[in-house]
Amino acid sequence: MQPQMVMYDEEFQQISAVCERLAREANAKIVFLVDKNGQLIASVGATENLDTTSLASLTAGNIAATGGLAKLIGEKEFSILFHEGEKDNLHISIIGGRVILVVIFDSRSSLGLVRLRVKKASDELNKIFDGLMKKVQVPGAGSPFAEITDDDIDNLFSE
């Protein structure tokens, strides 16, 4: 079973900063991070007209399906996927086995540049997530929902 995913403001700022730099240095249009269950963690770039929730869910589905394929042929996982389109391309990579980094780029960039920048950003992101996981495991870092009452839950459904 995967551990509970938690995101704090401090780490979120750090992650966003790494993604923003990656987008800039790789000349990418959009960079986003998704957890393997399909939840969007962060997104930067021209995301206004993009359905990032769907994108996150489909990316995770894609990784899950290719992961299934990998296992069938005796591989642990395929850590990088690349989808080439007429205008835009998708570079998808798995970071530290737990989160998915997606870079959308067009002809202003190149696969080589994206791969190079992604590698550097991956190391940094991996460190941040390592720290985050340790923080989550500290006792006392309980769920903010520990104090909710049954009434709170009922109120959610009273229209």
Partner 1 sequence: MSFINYSSREINCKIVYYGPGLCGKTTNLQYIYANTNQQAKGKMISLATETERTLFFDFLPLSLGEIRGFKTRFHLYTVPGQVFYDASRKLILKGVDGVVFVADSQIERTEANVESVENLRTNLGEQGYDLDKIPYVIQYNKRDLPNAAPLDELQNLLNPKGVPHFEAVAPKGEGVYETLKAIAKLILTELKKGT
Applying CB under 8 A, which residues contact partner 1?
1-9, 11-13, 35-39, 41, 51, 53-54, 57-58, 61, 64-65, 67-68, 142-148, 150, 152-157
The Cα–Cα gap between 155 and 93 comes to 41
Q: Which of 9, 1, 21 is nearest to 101 (CA)?
A: 21
Min dist CB 11 to partner 1, Å, is 8
Q: Which residue, 5 or 113, has its beta carbon nearer to partner 1?
A: 5
Report CA-CA distances (Å) from 143 to 9, 19, 65, 85, 146: 15, 27, 31, 42, 5
Nearer to partner 1, 59 or 93 (CB): 59
55: Cα separation from own chain's centroid: 11
Q: Residue 98 corresponds to which tokens in the numbers above? A: 């737990």
Q: Indicate the residue among 23 and 41 with the shorter CB distance to partner 1.
A: 41
Least Cβ distance, residue 26 to partner 1 (angstroms): 24
Point out which residues pair with 91 in neighbouring strands. 82, 103
- Min dist. Cβ of residue 109 to partner 1 (A): 28
Please identify, using beta-carbon distances, which residue of 12 and 78 lies nearer to partner 1.
Answer: 12
Q: Nearest distance from residue 23's CB to partner 1, in Å?
A: 19
The amino acid sitting at 157 is F
